[in-house]
């Protein structure tokens, strides 16, 4: 398994609907908890999860040529 950096820069939808919901909910929960714990790493994780859930694109999935979108 190799990681392709050039493929990582392409914007292709590769996050499915269920995973999108999970990322958004988990990211919002991480952001909320990080406010009370004053945890910067948890804040960054929450921001990344919300961003990848909102844009339905994950650069790591692109680099690994993985997709959770169901093909029709």
State CA 30 to chain mean position distance. 13
pLDDT value of position 72: 46
Asked if the model's pLDDT at residue 51 lies above 60, the reply is yes
Asked if the model's pLDDT at residue 32 lies above 50, the reply is yes
Tokens of 17: 């609907």
Distance CA 61, CA 48 (A): 14
pTM, full prediction: 0.82
């Amino acid at each position: 398994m190799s990681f392709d950096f050039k493929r990582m820069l392409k914007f292709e939808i590769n996050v499915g609907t269920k995973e999108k919901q999970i990322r958004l909910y988990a990211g919002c929960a991480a952001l909320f908890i990080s406010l009370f714990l004053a945890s910067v790493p948890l804040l960054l994780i929450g921001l990344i999860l919300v961003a990848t859930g909102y844009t339905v694109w994950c650069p790591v999935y692109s680099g690994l040529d993985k997709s959770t979108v169901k093909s029709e």
